[in-house]
């Protein structure tokens, strides 16, 4: 039982395993069928043909989602708070109270509520909720969420400025306009709608000021709107720069520690190297270096395999090995073309950083040279 | 009397005290009632039912705002220029001439002006003014204001470019369009309205060029508009990056000086440490570290309490203490899960910075080790 | 004659002198009258009343602009290429071929062209041209221009991507829509107009796709449009950050060299200090430091005067002097409130930078201490 | 044959040679004629006059594009993967499978498909495809592409958030609105169109919510839309900053190595210098330095020629030489005006960096001084 629960937990958290991929496939399919059905049912000419199928779709999708929810709840103790299977016991209540837990719970409610609400609008809303499940499968979304959370205080400050500025501007425009257009600027709440549409620069055009003072105020509102728009952009740009740098540094540190060349260096050296490296992914069968090219960087292979087209027989290099150091050390053009055989992950050390690093840490240059010499 | 004035000043400036929270609550309520009443009165079908209540609402809100204004004016000598209660005498004129002082003054004028202006539009505008009071309670708004003030010269330069470009573009479009659409592009002032709507990319669609040269010019105006929009964004993004970094450094410096571990270090060391730390807030009952995880940082507790789930009896750590250093020093996975008990504020030292710091300042590593050893 | 020409050149280039301010005032007035007249003449109901005045306004404004142009052309040899009066001879041809030179030339052509073009549309366009003269008086505009010029290659690359993407997207939408809406999507050139309006997110709404494939393509076009919009923003944000930092450094270097405290330091030291200082402007009568406050920075006075409210008799400090160092050195709260008497320009040294600097350059700390001791 | 193929390859890849410029000219002309013809044919009143010419235009353009494709395919083995003619053999399959290869292939298909599809809409689409060829001639586009590719994972994450948020918001608004406006919010797919138009802040205005809950949701959608818009901007801004810096460093390193002054320095020094220099381009006949100006930087000439107006006979300086060092070393105003004779490319070393560099590397100052002394 324990072992089974662990296997289920692995399947639920790792879509790169076979059973995980299957689970993910079924989930995504059910999500799309559920959302697609809701949309189709809202189209008058299709609705009549589908009205019987709808019940079955709701039933099947709800059961699948219910099953998934059950499995996730059951396996929750195996999954730690970073969403990874771990020896640390996770807690069922943590899962149940998380955003995604609530989503999972709501996904299978249509089947219960169906008798009560019928196949109307609210069913459509419930059928859209499973879309949030897709968030689990979007790589990078977690980073976006972290940045938004880190900067939430500043973002809230700029958004709450709008709650002050929109009503004030709207009331002023209302006072200017409601005599000229009593049907359009009918009341301050109507003007508020105009205000939010204008200050986000959406500009539907359903309410447009026509008097001179109204237009002057509207022009001001647009400019203020742009400044308000500029602020979250600036805050988020800033937040991304910091968070991405932080993560890259950490990931590099771990990768550098695992490279044979650096394995027994002390932590200070590794931290120094990590701060200079930059990750790069290249597809299979593309040229990393071209013979005769001026050297600009050296490469450490993290994943994949490259072939050095130096002699009749190409030389293969795999994870943990490096290449491209010769041209940097001797300051000469590339001697050989090097091409990826599989998709490769590299850590790249730029020429200027290479020289800065080897000056600070001559030991590294010596090691690189040793390996480099045995190759020739 | 002196003591009472001081107490009032404290209540007015610190919403985290009991009487401060009460004052804030009453103020926010009155602001919302005032603004809501103005909106309700503008809706034709509700207006008749409310016409009598309106007088009472205006009367009560105005009295409350008048009272608040009186208290703030009276207590002004106790409040220094950073809005904090201090031994330094503040000045009543400073308060009266500040933006928020003028707002406070205008908030209670409706009751005086009511006989003159009636319950018409201008009353509605006056009833919206108290919304600016909310600015006092939006955290982070002060930072937004500082950035805007710091960058005001550049922002004005980009906005004043619009005062040149909009009339020129509008006149050209007017010349192209007013024969084709004499009713729409009626005059240059009408075209100016089109210009501002277009160059802010609002695009209401009430005035749209139809001739070929008019549309070509309009397309150009949109592209120029985007470039103009890009500039304030760039300026503000830049300004936020600098200001946020500056404040974080300063706040870190103060927090680091107060930590027991660093208390008697000289100022240079503290400044060095402060530049590497990053503040982080975590909610209660969340895992800071998970056992078996690869170590990426160590934590200094500024506020709150964490529990180390290492043995049968969990160990508690409080403000001034630190944790997570072991895995960094020995370069091994985490030995224990550590969980917050209350909302906690930490200063986080990343792995790479930890190694850089302890190399530069071996004294710090020694101190950390000493504490770390006594724990085991 | 030489002397007169020099005086004229000074008046033309320095609006902070008496005659310069007068010249600027007259120019701005004439610009606004000229542009305002063009606008008024386009309003049908006013036009008839103004038709006689129009000729006089054109005549007078043109003469003023002609006079200004003549003066600038005559004085051009006194003005160097940075727009400053200098001993280096400038060249008339340089002025004549510059953008602003062409503007100055065009400004007085209405009076010549009046008989040919009458008081019609083209006169209005000519009357708008003087608005470009205002660029001379907008502080910071030169910086905006420099950033745009520095980044022009990248900005052009993103804009020229639009010249490829807009026609392709528009043709596809045209193919989808012109059967459904033959009157709206009448031809590909019409669809191009839709394309540019959509991809700049202006969205007038005069042309809206209604078919399913048309809307899908339109949605894609909007997303691509946002990405295209993001690029110039990113490029410009980047450009501002670099250019502003570069200028600040240089300005600081000059100011630091002029401070008595640093006057005989060697250039390396001054460059080091300059990179740490930050300029700040404060209005008259505001508190720079408040007694009891925790110290966060020290201040060098560049311009203006402050008073130290330390004893019965306040101490005055002027340009070249500094304050706020005591609390930093001794790591204690401020002992006195310091208030500006006039508008002041400071160079601010933050606490963390102060400690970093004084560690690297102990000589500076010694000098600061010497001055600081004589004060007490 | 080999030699001919090589010449063709050079002409195809280097528009700065004579035959390359001719090829580029013909290609751009054919692209514009092709796209222009498609547009003209869609205009009803012109179509009839052009219907015969259309066939000829399609025939000629297709032949030209076919010829170009043939040449590129034939010469592909001479062109390496960076698009440069090289001794390394390129591969025909690489070209054929690249984006631009597919474009080149599609460009000449109209002539084959013409009998099948006639001169209708699909022909117009095919005639637009050659526009993508223009991408080859837009400088800087490659950098834009690299940044987009580097940041593609994050950009996809933000865009795929929209695929979740748009349907959810749209369904909610549909539920609120379709009773009030059954003709406008006819179905959820219709509401999806509203959603994407609103969240990209395009705001066509063809579908506008009118109920209170609908408008509240729409306001929320706009704010979320702005936050979503802010993210790609932040990501791209960040990506540009990193990529531009990386390239500049590398380019500087190569240029510095080629300067006579630095030629025999070791790689560490060159890397150090490279990180401080900034490239700058100046048009012919403009003043780089002006006599009497305060010195702010020194210049290394990479390309072009300047004249030093120091004596009766101006001194000429060419590539590899430097100037402006005197005023920096002696901290005095410029002694001479220096003017470009041709378009010049410089590497600029700012004053503060100059002092930082010469302190770290006194050898460089000595060398500069040696050259500087021989000049006087």
In this structure, what CATH number is given to the domain that contains residue B352?
2.60.120.10
Q: Is the pLDDT assigned to residue A249 strictly greater than 90?
A: no
Q: Are residues A231 and A270 in the same domain?
A: no
B3 phi/psi in degrees, rounded to 5: -65, -45
Q: Is the pLDDT assigned to residue A87 strictly greater than 70?
A: no
Please tell me the predicted confidence (pLDDT) of residue C360. 82
Last residue of a domain, one of A243, A275, A295: A243
- Rounded CA-CA distance D376/D371 in Å is 9
**Residue A142 belongs to some domain of the structure:** no
A56 phi/psi in degrees, rounded to 5: -65, -40
Q: Are residues C50 and C82 in the same domain?
A: yes
Q: Is the pLDDT assigned to residue B82 strictly greater than 70?
A: no
Q: Are residues D231 and D274 in the same domain?
A: no
Contact B342, B286 (CB under 8 A): no
Average pLDDT over residues A277-281: 85
**Residue B257 belongs to some domain of the structure:** no
Contact A346, A307 (CB under 8 A): no
Residue from the list D205, D234, D237 with its beta carbon closest to the beta carbon of B205: D205
- Nearest-Cα distance to chain D for C131, in Å, is 27
**DSSP string spanning D164-175?**
HHHHHHHHHHHH
Average pLDDT over residues D6-23: 87
Query: D148-157: string of b/e by CB count within 10 Å (b at 16+)?
Result: bebbeebbeb
Contact B273, B357 (CB under 8 A): yes
Average pLDDT taken over every residue of chain B: 85
Taking the CA atoms of residue C227, residue C231, residue C232 and residue C238 in that order, the dihedral angle to the nearest 10 degrees is: 150
Give every CB contact of residue C222 below 8 A, 6+ residues apart in sequence: C198, C199, C201, D196, D197, D200, D202
Beta-bridge partners for A306 = A317, A340
Q: Is the pLDDT assigned to residue D244 strictly greater than 90?
A: no
- Rounded CA-CA distance A294/B140 in Å is 50
Please tell me the predicted confidence (pLDDT) of residue A58. 87
**DSSP string spanning C257-283?**
HHSGGGTTS-HHHHHHHHTT-EEEEE-
Least confident of B110-114, C87-91, D5-9: C87-91
- Rounded CA-CA distance C216/C232 in Å is 26
Q: Are residues D83 and D116 in the same domain?
A: yes
Q: Which residues of D touch B234 (CB under 8 A)?
A: 237
Tokens representing D286? 């403009």
Average pLDDT over residues A235-259: 83
Please tell me the predicted confidence (pLDDT) of residue D356. 83
Q: Chain centroid to CA A178: how far?
A: 46
| Range with top average pLDDT, A322-326, B323-327, C28-32 | C28-32
ipTM above 0.85, yes or no: no
**Residue A288 belongs to some domain of the structure:** yes
**DSSP string spanning C170-190?**
HHHHHHHHTTT-TTTS-SHHH
pLDDT band at B81 (very low <50, low <70, confident <90, very high): low
Contact D355, C268 (CB under 8 A): yes
State pLDDT tens for residues D343-373: 888 999 988 888 888 888 888 888 888 888 8
Mutate to test the interface with C, among B234, B262, B268, B270 (most CBs of C within 10 A): B234
Last residue of a domain, one of D114, D137, D160: D137
DSSP helix/strand/coil, B309: strand
Question: What is the chain A residue with the closest CA to B337?
Answer: A88
Strands D315-317 and D287-289: unpaired
- Rounded CA-CA distance D123/D128 in Å is 9
Q: Are residues B73 and B179 in the same domain?
A: no
Q: Which residues of C touch A203 (CB under 8 A)?
A: 202-203
**Residue A344 belongs to some domain of the structure:** yes
Q: Are residues C232 and C161 in the same domain?
A: yes
Tokens representing C204? 């007038």
Contact B253, B274 (CB under 8 A): yes
Q: Which long-range contacts (CB under 8 A, 24 or more apart) does C252-257 make?
A: C252/C277, C252/C279, C252/C347, C253/D351, C253/D352, C254/D294, C255/C279, C255/C300, C255/C302, C255/C347, C256/C347, C257/D331
Mutate to test the interface with B, among D233, D235, D236, D244 (most CBs of B within 10 A): D233
- Rounded CA-CA distance A199/B201 in Å is 11
- The arrangement of strands across the sheet holding B337-340 comes to B287-289, B337-340, B306-309, B315-317
The pLDDT tens digits along chain C (376 residues) read 778 888 888 888 888 888 889 999 999 999 999 999 888 888 888 888 887 788 888 889 999 999 999 999 998 888 876 667 766 667 788 888 888 899 999 988 887 887 777 767 788 888 889 999 988 888 778 888 888 888 888 888 888 888 888 999 999 999 999 889 999 998 899 999 999 999 888 888 889 999 989 999 999 999 888 887 788 888 887 788 788 888 888 888 888 888 888 877 877 788 888 888 888 888 888 888 888 777 788 999 998 999 988 767 788 898 988 998 888 888 788 888 888 888 888 999 988 888 888 888 888 888 888 888 887 6
In this structure, what CATH number is given to the domain that contains residue A167?
1.10.287.70
Q: Is the pLDDT assigned to residue D341 strictly greater than 80?
A: yes
DSSP helix/strand/coil, C222: helix
Between positions 72 and 111 of C, the ones with CB within 8 A of D are: 80-82, 86-88
Q: Are residues D123 and D176 in the same domain?
A: no
Q: Domain range holding B297?
A: 263-375
DSSP helix/strand/coil, A64: helix
- Rounded CA-CA distance C3/B375 in Å is 84
State pLDDT tens for residues D257-315: 888 888 778 777 888 888 888 888 888 888 888 887 777 889 999 989 999 887 677 88
**Helix A212-258 vs helix B141-150: crossing angle, to nearest 10:** 100
**DSSP string spanning A303-353?**
ES-EEEESSSSPEEE-TT-EE-HHHHHHT---SSEEEESS-EEEEEEEHHH
End-to-end distance of chain B based on CA atoms, in angstroms? 57
Average pLDDT over residues B238-246: 81
pLDDT band at A137 (very low <50, low <70, confident <90, very high): confident
Report the domain count for chain C. Answer: 3
CA atoms within 13 A on the CB side of C362: 0
Which chains touch A (3+ CB pairs under 8 A)? B, C, D
**Residue C250 belongs to some domain of the structure:** no
Is any Cβ of chain A less than 8 angstroms from the Cβ of C237? Answer: yes
Question: What is the chain B residue with the closest CA to D230?
Answer: B233
Q: Is the pLDDT assigned to residue B57 strictly greater than 70?
A: yes
Residue found by looking up tokens 């968070």 in the block: A243
Instruction: State the sign of the Cα–Cα–Cα–Cα dihedral B264, B265, B266, B267.
Output: negative
Residue found by looking up tokens 């985490």 in the block: B334
Q: Are residues D326 and D349 in the same domain?
A: yes
Between positions 334 and 373 of D, the ones with CB within 8 A of C are: 337, 350-356, 358-359
Helical spans, DSSP H, in chain C: 2-13, 18-42, 44-75, 92-97, 99-107, 110-117, 121-128, 141-150, 152-177, 188-199, 212-258, 267-274, 325-330, 351-360, 362-375
Please tell me the predicted confidence (pLDDT) of residue B85. 74
CA atoms within 13 A on the CB side of B4: 3
Nearest by Cα to B64 from B23, B35, B100 = B23
Average pLDDT over residues D10-31: 89
Between positions 299 and 338 of D, the ones with CB within 8 A of A are: none
Contact C11, C17 (CB under 8 A): yes
DSSP helix/strand/coil, B307: strand
Please tell me the predicted confidence (pLDDT) of residue A110. 82
Q: Chain centroid to CA A7: how far?
A: 27
Q: Is the pLDDT assigned to residue A366 strictly greater than 70?
A: yes
Q: Are residues B119 and B28 in the same domain?
A: yes
Helical spans, DSSP H, in chain A: 2-13, 18-42, 44-75, 92-97, 99-107, 110-117, 121-128, 141-150, 152-177, 188-199, 212-258, 267-274, 325-330, 351-360, 362-375
**Residue A147 belongs to some domain of the structure:** no
Residue D162 belongs to what H/E stretch? helix D152-177
State pLDDT tens for residues B293-309: 777 889 999 989 999 88
Is any Cβ of chain C less than 8 angstroms from the Cβ of D112? Answer: no
CA atoms within 13 A on the CB side of B350: 21
- Rounded CA-CA distance B94/C285 in Å is 10
Q: Are residues D239 and D268 in the same domain?
A: no
pTM of this prediction? Answer: 0.85
- Rounded CA-CA distance B309/D1 in Å is 78
State pLDDT tens for residues D132-170: 998 888 877 888 888 888 888 888 888 888 888 899 999
Tokens representing D355? 């002092």
Please tell me the predicted confidence (pLDDT) of residue A67. 92
Q: Are residues B212 and B302 in the same domain?
A: no
- Nearest-Cα distance to chain D for A296, in Å, is 7
State pLDDT tens for residues A156-174: 888 888 888 899 999 999 9
**DSSP string spanning C37-93?**
HHHHHHSHHHHHHHHHHHHHHHHHHHHHHHHHHHHHHHHGGGB-TTS-B-SS---HH
Strands D315-317 and C344-350: unpaired
**Helix A212-258 vs helix A141-150: crossing angle, to nearest 10:** 120
Last residue of a domain, one of A79, A104, A137: A137
Residue from the list C38, C193, C232 with its beta carbon closest to the beta carbon of B171: C38
DSSP 8-state code for residue B136: G
**Residue D32 belongs to some domain of the structure:** yes
- Rounded CA-CA distance A116/A106 in Å is 16
Please tell me the predicted confidence (pLDDT) of residue C376. 61
Q: Phi/psi zone of residue C304: left (φ > 0), alpha (ψ -120 to 50 degrees), beta?
A: left
Please tell me the predicted confidence (pLDDT) of residue C82. 66
Contact D143, D206 (CB under 8 A): no
- Rounded CA-CA distance C136/D157 in Å is 45
Which is more confident, C50 or B5? B5
Which is more confident, A32 or A232? A32
- Rounded CA-CA distance C98/C79 in Å is 13
Average pLDDT taken over every residue of chain D: 85
B315 phi/psi in degrees, rounded to 5: -90, 135
Q: Are residues C104 and C215 in the same domain?
A: no
Please tell me the predicted confidence (pLDDT) of residue B209. 92
**Residue A194 belongs to some domain of the structure:** yes
Q: What percent of chain B has pLDDT over 90?
A: 21
pLDDT band at B119 (very low <50, low <70, confident <90, very high): low
Exposed, middle or buried: residue C2 (CB in 10 Å: 0-12, 13-18, 19+)?
exposed
> How far is residue B307 from each of residues A187, C41, C206, C342, measured CA to CA in Å?
56, 78, 63, 55
Which chains touch D (3+ CB pairs under 8 A)? A, B, C
């Amino acid at each position: 039982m324990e072992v089974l629960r662990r296997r289920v937990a692995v399947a639920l958290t790792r879509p790169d395993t076979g059973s995980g991929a299957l689970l993910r496939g079924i989930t995504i399919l059910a999500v799309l069928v559920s959302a697609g059905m809701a949309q189709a049912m809202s189209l008058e000419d299709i609705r009549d043909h589908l009205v019987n199928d709808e019940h079955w779709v709701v039933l099947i999708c709800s059961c699948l989602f219910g099953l998934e929810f059950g499995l996730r709840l059951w396996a929750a103790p195996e999954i730690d708070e970073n969403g990874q299977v771990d020896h640390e016991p996770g807690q069922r209540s943590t899962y149940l109270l998380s955003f995604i837990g609530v989503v999972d719970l709501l996904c299978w409610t249509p089947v219960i509520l169906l008798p009560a609400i019928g196949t109307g609008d609210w069913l459509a809303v419930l059928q859209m909720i499973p879309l949030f499940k897709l968030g689990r499968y979007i790589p990078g979304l977690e980073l976006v969420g972290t940045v938004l959370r880190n900067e939430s205080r500043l973002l809230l400050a700029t958004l709450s400025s709008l709650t002050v500025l929109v009503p004030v501007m709207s009331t002023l425009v209302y006072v200017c306009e409601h005599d000229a257009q009593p049907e359009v600027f009918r009341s301050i709440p109507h003007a508020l709608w105009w205000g939010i549409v204008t200050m986000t620069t959406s500009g539907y055009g359903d309410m447009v000021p026509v008097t001179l003072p109204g237009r002057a105020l509207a022009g001001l509102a647009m400019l203020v709107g742009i400044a308000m728009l500029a602020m979250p952009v600036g805050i988020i740009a800033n937040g991304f720069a910091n968070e991405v740098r932080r993560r890259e540094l950490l990931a590099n540190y771990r990768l550098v520690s695992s490279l044979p060349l650096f394995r027994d260096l002390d932590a200070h050296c590794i931290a120094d190297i990590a701060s200079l490296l930059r990750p790069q992914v290249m597809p299979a069968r593309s040229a990393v270096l071209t013979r005769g090219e001026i050297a600009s960087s050296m490469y450490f292979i993290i994943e994949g395999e490259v072939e050095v087209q130096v002699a009749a027989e190409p030389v293969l290099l795999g994870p943990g090995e490096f290449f491209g150091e010769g041209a940097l050390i001797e300051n000469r053009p590339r001697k050989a073309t090097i091409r990826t055989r599989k998709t490769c992950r590299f850590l790249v050390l730029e020429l200027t950083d290479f020289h800065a690093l080897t000056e600070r840490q001559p030991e590294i240059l010596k090691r690189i040279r040793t390996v480099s010499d045995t190759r020739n």
